[in-house]
Amino acid sequence: MRDLAFILATTLMYSTPLIYGALGAVFSENSGVVNIGIEGMMTIGAFAGAASTYIMAEGYGHLWWVPWVGFLIGGLAGGLFGLLHAVASVTFQADQTVSGIAINFLAPGLALFLSRRLFENATTTPPIPLDAKLPRPLNQFFDLSSIPGIIFNQYASVYIAFILVFVSWFVLYKTKLGLRIRAVGEHPKAADTLGVNVYRVRYFSVILSGILAGLGGASLSMAIVASFRPTLISGQGFIAMAAMIFGKWKPHGAMLACLLFGATTGIQIYLGSPQVGLQVSANLLSMIPYIITLIVLMGFVGKAVAPAADGIPYEKGDR
Amino acid sequence: MEVNSKKEKLKSFLINETLILTLLSIVMGLLVGALIITLSGYNPLEAYRLMLEGIFSQPRYIAWTVIRATPLILTGLSVAFAFRTGLFNIGAEGQFIIGALTAALLGYFLELPAILHVPIVLCGSILAAATWGGIVGFLKSKFGIHEVIASIMLNWIALYFMNYIINQPGFKRPGTEASFDIHESARISIPWMREVLGPATKVNWGIVIALVITAVIYYLLFKTTIGYELRAVGYNKDAAEYGGINVNRSIMLSMAIAGALAGAAGAMHVMGVSFRVSVLAAMEGYGFNGIAVALIGNNNPFGVILSAFLFGGLTYGGSKMQTIGVPTEVINIVIGSIIFFVATYRIFRYVLVLFNRKKLQKEVQ
C-alpha cells in the first residue's frame, strides 16, 4: 500500500511538466496552429524560472512571493516565444512546423547564452535555496509518513497543473472563447464570416500555449529539481506533444496520456529503488513508456483526428 | 506552347527566388547573431572574423568543417527526402542511433579483410536503420499512427536500446561508458591525410560516400518512376491513390529510405570519427540538426549539401568565438534565426512591397 502511494506520488510529480506542455499544445492546435516549439518554450521557461528565482532570492531574501514571481516569469518567457511563433505562423503565414523548429533552436540557444552571461559562463544555473522553491501547500495537513502524506506531499505546481486541466476543458468546451478557438481551428473561414477575428484568436491561443509550456519548464526547474541545466528538458516537449495527439487534442485526454508517461517513470523509479532492488536494467525499463504508447496507439485509440484546419495558415479573402 | 514556356519561366523564377530568399535569411540570421553579440558587450566583427578564421585559416580547420558536415548531409537528406514525399521524419535521430549501434557491433564482432568489412558494416547498418524507419511507415500505413508521434517514441526506444546493448559484457569496454573500438578493417579513415593534417584530425572517406549517396537519391527522386510516385504521394495523397499508386507501400518505402540515409550517417560517424558508441543521457542532435539542414536547404538534395556545410562551418567555426568570451550558443541563435526567416520569407516580400510603394510615391510626387 505504501509502495503504491509512493508510485502514485512520483507519477503525479513526473507527469506535471508534461501536462503543462500538453495543455499548451492543446490550445495552439485547437486554434489551428501546429506548435512543435513546445520543447524550446519549455526550455526557456525552465531557465527563466530557475534563474529569476535564484536572483530574486539573492536580492530580496527568501520571501514567500519569490518562487511565485519566478514561476510566472518562466511562463512569460515561454509566452514571448509563443508570440514569436504567432507572428511567424499567423501574420506571415509561415510553415508552422518550420517556425516551431526555429524556436527549438532559438529558445534553448538563448537560455544557454543568457545562463553563461549571467552565471560566469556556467550552463547550469546555481541551485535555488530550498525555501525559495515552489511550496508544498498540503504537507502541513498530513503526517508525512502516512499514506495520504506520501501522496499529497506535492509541490504547488502539481495541483495547479490539474486545476489547469479542468480550467482548459471548461474554457474550450463551455465558453464562447473556447467555441471560437475551436471554430477557428476547424473552419477559419466560417468563423471569419461570423465575425470572429481569426488572427486575434490564434494569437491568443499560441501565446497562451507558450505561457503554459513555459510554466511546464519552470515546474521542472523550480520544483522537481532546483536549477536549470542544458539536458533538463531533453525531449519532454516532444513527449508532451505526443501526449496531446495521444489524448486526441483534448485537455483531459492529454492529461491521461501524460499520467501514463508519468506512471511508467514512477514505476521505474520504484523498481529501481533500494527497498525493491529488482535487478532489471534501467535502460530496458526506460523503454517501457514509449513501447506502451505505441501499442496503445495501435490497438485502443483508433485514428486520431486533428482539427481540420490544423497547420494551415489563414489568409483573409483567400479562396 | 506559350503556356509551357510561361511555366518554365515561372519555375526558374521560383528557384532563383528561393535561393535569394535563403541567402537573405542567412544574412539576417547572422545579423541577429551580431546584434546579440553586440548587446552582450562584444565586438561582432571580431567574433565573426574569429569564426571565419576558425573555418578557413588552416587546412586542418577546413577538414574539421567537412567532418562535421558529413553526417549532417545524410541526416539532412533523410529529412528532406521524407518531406518531399509528404512525411515529417523527426525520427532521423533514432535512425542515426540504430545505424551507429549496428556499425559498432558489426565492426567489433566481425573479423574480415577491409575490402569486405567496410561494405558489410555499412550495408548492415543501412539495412538495420531502414527497418527502423520502415517501422514508422508501417505504423502509419497500417494503424494510422502519425509519423511524428511514432518517430518520437522510436527515438527514445533506440536511445535506451543502444544504452542497454552497450552495457552488455563483452561489448562494453570495462571502466568506460562506451563500447570497444571497431577493428581497423572496418574504419574508413584516410591515413595519409591524417599525417598531413595532424593525427587528431579524423579525415575519412565519409564525405565522398555521402556525396555519392546524395547523387543517387537525387536520381531516385527526380529521374525514376518510383521517385515520381513517392513525390506524387507527397504532393497529393488522394490524387496519387486515384492515379493507381499504392500509397501505403509508398509511405513505407519512403520512411525506409529516410531511415537508411540517417542510418548511413550514424554508421559513417562510427566508422570514420568515433570508432565506438557511448552511453547517451540525451539525444546528440544529429537528427534534429538534420531537420534544420533540410529546411535551410529547401529540401533539395544539392541545397542540403550546401546547407550542411553552412551548418558544419557555423558550429565548428563558431566555437572559436569563445576565445574572446562569446558563448558558443549564439550559433544556435543564428541557426534558429535563419530557419525563422526561411519560414517567414513573406517578411521580405512585405518589406519589398513597402519599399516599392514608397518608391512609387516618390516618383508620383
- Angstrom distance (rounded) from CA A62 to CA A202: 39
Shortest Cα–Cα distance, A169 to chain B (Å) = 23
Write the residue in B160, B295, B333 that is nearest to A106 by C-beta. Answer: B333
- Angstrom distance (rounded) from CA B65 to CA B68: 5
Give the residue from A238, A244, A249, A314 with the most B CB atoms within 10 Å of its CB, the best one to mutate. Answer: A238
Contact assignment for A242 to B336 by CB distance below 8 Å: no
**Residue A281 buriedness (CB in 10 A; 0-12 / 13-18 / 19+):** middle
Over residues A161-191, the pLDDT tens digits come to 999 999 999 999 999 999 999 999 999 999 9
3-state helix, strand, coil in chain B (%, to 5): 80, 0, 20
> What is the model's pLDDT at position B1?
42
Q: What is the mean pLDDT of residues B313-335?
A: 91
Which grid coordinates belong to B44?
A: 561582432
Give residues 168 to 227 of B whose Cβ lies within 8 Å of A. Answer: none
> What is the model's pLDDT at position B145?
86
- Angstrom distance (rounded) from CA A88 to CA A33: 11
Shortest Cα–Cα distance, B195 to chain A (Å) = 36
Over residues A41-87, the pLDDT tens digits come to 999 999 999 999 999 998 887 788 889 999 999 999 999 999 999 99
Nearest CA in chain B to A234: B282
B90 close contact with A: CB closer than 8 A: yes
Contact assignment for B347 to A92 by CB distance below 8 Å: yes
Shortest Cα–Cα distance, A80 to chain B (Å) = 15
Which grid coordinates belong to A27?
A: 490550445
Nearest CA in chain A to B347: A92
Helix or strand holding residue B8 (H, E): helix B2-39
The helix/strand count (H/E) of chain B reads as 15, 0
Over residues A247-272, the pLDDT tens digits come to 889 999 999 999 988 888 888 778 77
Check if the beta carbon of residue A113 is closer than 8 Å to that of residue A102: no
- If you count them, how many residues does chain B have? 365
List the beta bridge partners of residue B179: B172
All residues of chain B having their beta carbon less than 8 Å from the beta carbon of residue A294 are 139, 145, 150, 153-154
Which grid coordinates belong to B316?
A: 565548428
> What is the model's pLDDT at position A300?
59
Range B330-363 burial, b when 16+ CB lie within 10 A, else e = bbbbbbbbbbbbbbbbbbbeeeeeeeeeeeeeee
The rounded mean pLDDT for chain A is 89
Q: What is the mean pLDDT of residues B332-355?
A: 85
List the beta bridge partners of residue B172: B179
Nearest CA in chain A to B296: A98
- Angstrom distance (rounded) from CA A83 to CA B142: 38
> What is the model's pLDDT at position A150?
80
> What is the model's pLDDT at position B330?
92
Most confident of A66-80, B176-190, B332-346: A66-80
Give residues 326 to 345 of B whose Cβ lies within 8 Å of A. Answer: 327, 329-333, 335-337, 339-340, 342-345
Contact assignment for B336 to A116 by CB distance below 8 Å: no
Nearest CA in chain A to B290: A101
Range list of H helices, chain A: 2-30, 38-60, 65-86, 96-118, 147-152, 156-174, 176-186, 188-193, 198-219, 236-246, 251-272, 282-296
Over residues B114-142, the pLDDT tens digits come to 899 999 999 999 999 999 999 999 999 88
Nearest CA in chain A to B166: A283
- Angstrom distance (rounded) from CA A225 to CA A53: 13
Give the residue from A113, A284, A292 with the most B CB atoms within 10 Å of its CB, the best one to mutate. Answer: A113
- Angstrom distance (rounded) from CA A180 to CA A203: 12
Q: What is the mean pLDDT of residues B43-59?
A: 92
Share of chain A above pLDDT 90, in %: 55
> What is the model's pLDDT at position A251?
95
Q: What is the mean pLDDT of residues B76-88?
A: 94
DSSP string, B238-270: HHHHHTT--HHHHHHHHHHHHHHHHHHHHHHHI
| Three-class SS state of A134 | coil
Contact assignment for B90 to A238 by CB distance below 8 Å: yes
Closest CA to B165 of B95, B120, B104: B104
> What is the model's pLDDT at position A216?
97
Backbone angles phi, psi at A48, to 5 degrees: -60, -40
Predicted confidence (pLDDT) at residue B7 exceeds the cutoff of 90: no
List the beta bridge partners of residue B204: B189
- Angstrom distance (rounded) from CA B331 to CA A229: 18
Closest CA to B36 of B331, B342, B323, B338: B331
Over residues B292-311, the pLDDT tens digits come to 999 999 899 999 999 999 99
Confidence of residue A6 (pLDDT cuts 50, 70, 90): confident
Contact assignment for A281 to B164 by CB distance below 8 Å: yes
All residues of chain A having their beta carbon less than 8 Å from the beta carbon of residue B332 are 105-106, 108-109, 112-113
Write the residue in A101, A112, A287 that is nearest to B327 by C-beta. Answer: A112
Predicted confidence (pLDDT) at residue B13 exceeds the cutoff of 60: no
Shortest Cα–Cα distance, A117 to chain B (Å) = 8
ipTM of the complex: 0.89
Which grid coordinates belong to A39?
A: 520543447
All residues of chain B having their beta carbon less than 8 Å from the beta carbon of residue A310 are none
* Other CB atoms within 10 Å distance of the CB of residue B112: 16
B323 close contact with A: CB closer than 8 A: no
Which CATH number is A11-259's, of 1.10.10, 3.30.450, 1.10.1740, 1.10.3470? 1.10.3470
Closest CA to A100 of A311, A290, A242: A311
| Three-class SS state of B245 | coil
Shortest Cα–Cα distance, A102 to chain B (Å) = 4
Nearest CA in chain A to B144: A303
The residue ranges of every structural domain in chain A are: 11-259
All residues of chain A having their beta carbon less than 8 Å from the beta carbon of residue B333 are 105-106, 109-110, 113
Question: How many Cβ pairs closer than 8 A exist between chain A and B?
Answer: 142
Range A294-319 burial, b when 16+ CB lie within 10 A, else e = beebeeebeebebbebbebbbeeeee
> What is the model's pLDDT at position A319?
47
